[in-house]
């Protein structure tokens, strides 16, 4: 009930203080100092079935939203519970701690050092050590069966972020998800935006400089004269919880892949992720718009409220498709 009330208030734009009883430190020493996060809540997690070429990006696979935070750590580093509770060992790479108030904390990519049913103390019991190959601990919080963003609800503290999301551009795509050539639109199209964020702290090792997903993306469409065609619409909001897994390709656009993606039997270990968000959750029939110049406005925000706004013009030219050779300046 408490979580439902909090989420409802946040959806209405109400600012609520976070009870101190819900806040906690980090699962790694030092507990009260921020650690680099290399994977955000809501990041795409993808394993493509087919090879990258020719059409692996548009094929089958396993696709889901990242349901926690990947906190960078040294191999073998001790991991501690952030809240006291009872340990559960689902397998030999994870520990789950059940706390009071129907709260569950998952710690994955660790070698467990506790036994099933053991009582563990916050910041006292070593529940495991970071796996050498993973070099991070996947940390997730579940409240009353709802997975929540520890950063968005200000549970994980201290945390400070001064970086801003980056909007790399607006993309016109065919209904299949493949990019269209040219800057104009005719018929039915999909509009997407390539958006990413930068970790608040530099991530060590081979993950340095790799992007993470923003927490909030919205967009609007207006005519060149400023008339609103599509009002501000939220594409995705990862600040508090996750969309349903079945909505993955409604939120992310084809062309998206995660950091160091896997296609078939090959993993591209040096390839940085590309995050494209579908501004039009289905498609846009441009024949319902008058020909002429329009402006797409995209807003991206992180859990700390850092915001980036970008606009990009495009042309609708159904009467004369040949005229869509350059983008007019509104």
58 secondary structure, DSSP code: G
Query: Domain check: are 109 and 243 in the same one?
Result: no
Task: Tally the domains of the chain.
Answer: 2
Averaged pLDDT, 279-285: 94
Query: Domain check: are 35 and 125 in the same one?
Result: yes
Q: Give the CATH number of the domain where residue 249 resides.
A: 2.60.40
Task: Write down the mean pLDDT value for the chain.
Answer: 92
Instruction: Classify residue 1: in a domain, yes or no.
Output: no
Give the residue among 114, 46, 111 at the shortest CA–CA distance from 85. 114
pLDDT at 318: 94
Phi-psi region of 201 (alpha: psi -120 to 50; beta: other; left: phi over 0): beta
Percentage, residues of the chain above pLDDT 90: 86
Query: Domain check: are 254 and 227 in the same one?
Result: yes
| Residues, the chain | 330
Instruction: Classify residue 298: in a domain, yes or no.
Output: yes
pLDDT tens digits along 93-152? 999 999 998 999 999 999 999 999 999 999 999 999 999 999 999 999 999 999 999 999
pLDDT tens digits along 303-324? 999 999 999 998 999 998 887 7
Averaged pLDDT, 236-248: 97
Instruction: Classify residue 324: in a domain, yes or no.
Output: no
Instruction: Classify residue 116: in a domain, yes or no.
Output: yes
Q: Give the CATH number of the domain where residue 45 resides.
A: 2.70.70.10
Instruction: Classify residue 50: in a domain, yes or no.
Output: yes
Query: Domain check: are 193 and 106 in the same one?
Result: no
Instruction: Classify residue 158: in a domain, yes or no.
Output: no
Query: Domain check: are 241 and 125 in the same one?
Result: no
Instruction: Classify residue 177: in a domain, yes or no.
Output: yes
Query: Domain check: are 42 and 96 in the same one?
Result: yes
Question: Per-residue confidence at 263, pLDDT binned at 50, 70, 90?
Answer: very high
201 secondary structure, DSSP code: S
Query: Domain check: are 23 and 79 in the same one?
Result: yes
Torsion of CA 66, 68, 72, 74, to 10 degrees: -110
Domain that holds residue 57: 18-148
Query: Domain check: are 184 and 309 in the same one?
Result: yes
- Domain end marker among 113, 148, 183: 148
Instruction: Judge whether residue 30 has pLDDT over 50.
Output: yes
pLDDT tens digits along 294-303? 999 999 999 9
Calpha distance 138→155 (Å, rounded): 16
Give the residue among 70, 83, 243, 71 at the shortest CA–CA distance from 147. 243
Instruction: Judge whether residue 248 has pLDDT over 60.
Output: yes
pLDDT at 325: 57
- Domain end marker among 122, 148, 174: 148
Instruction: Judge whether residue 16 has pLDDT over 70.
Output: no
Higher-confidence position of 218 and 321: 218
Query: Domain check: are 240 and 136 in the same one?
Result: no
Q: Which long-range contacts (CB under 8 A, 24 or more apart) does 143-146 make?
A: 143/2, 143/3, 143/101, 143/102, 143/103, 143/104, 144/1, 144/2, 144/3, 144/4, 144/102, 145/102, 146/3, 146/241
Phi first, then psi: give them for residue 307, nearest 5 degrees. -130, 145
pLDDT at 18: 52
- Domain end marker among 118, 148, 178: 148
Query: Domain check: are 54 and 192 in the same one?
Result: no
Calpha distance 199→323 (Å, rounded): 42
Calpha distance 58→175 (Å, rounded): 12
Instruction: Classify residue 159: in a domain, yes or no.
Output: no
- Cβ atoms of 201 and 34 closer than 8 Å: yes
Instruction: Judge whether residue 11 has pLDDT over 60.
Output: no
- Cβ atoms of 70 and 38 closer than 8 Å: yes
Query: Domain check: are 171 and 303 in the same one?
Result: yes
Query: Domain check: are 64 and 206 in the same one?
Result: no
Element (H, E) at 160: none
Both tokens of 228, joined, read 């609103």
pLDDT at 254: 96
């Amino acid at each position: 009930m408490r979580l439902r009330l909090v989420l409802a208030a946040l959806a209405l734009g109400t600012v609520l203080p976070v009870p101190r009883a819900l806040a906690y430190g980090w699962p790694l020493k030092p507990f009260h100092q921020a650690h680099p996060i290399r994977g955000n809540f809501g990041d795409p997690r993808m394993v493509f079935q087919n090879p990258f070429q020719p059409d692996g990006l548009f094929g089958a696979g396993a696709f889901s939203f990242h349901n926690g935070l990947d906190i960078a750590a040294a191999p073998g580093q001790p991991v501690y519970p952030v809240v006291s509770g009872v340990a559960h060992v689902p397998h030999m790479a994870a520990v789950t701690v059940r706390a009071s108030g129907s709260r569950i904390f998952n710690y994955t990519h660790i070698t467990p050092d506790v036994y099933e049913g053991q009582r563990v103390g916050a910041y006292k019991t070593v529940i495991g050590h970071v796996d050498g190959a993973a070099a991070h601990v996947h940390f997730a919080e579940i409240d009353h069966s709802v997975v929540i963003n520890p950063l968005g609800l200000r549970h994980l503290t201290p945390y400070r972020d001064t970086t801003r999301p980056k909007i790399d551009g607006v993309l016109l795509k065919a209904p299949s998800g493949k990019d269209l050539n040219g800057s104009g639109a005719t018929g039915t199209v999909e509009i997407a935006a390539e958006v990413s964020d930068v970790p608040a702290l530099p991530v060590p090792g081979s993950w340095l400089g790799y992007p993470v997903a923003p927490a909030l993306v919205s967009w609007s469409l207006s005519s060149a004269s400023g008339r609103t065609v599509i009002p501000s619409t939220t594409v995705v909001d990862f600040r508090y919880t996750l969309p349903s897994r079945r909505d993955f390709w409604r939120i992310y656009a084809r062309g998206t892949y995660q950091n160091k993606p896997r296609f078939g039997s090959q993993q591209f270990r040096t390839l940085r992720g590309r995050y494209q968000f579908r501004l039009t959750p289905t498609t846009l029939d441009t024949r319902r718009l008058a020909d002429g110049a329009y402006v797409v406005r995209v807003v991206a925000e992180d859990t700390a409220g850092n915001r980036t706004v970008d606009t990009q013009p495009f042309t609708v030219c159904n009467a004369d498709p040949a005229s869509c050779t350059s983008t007019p300046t509104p």
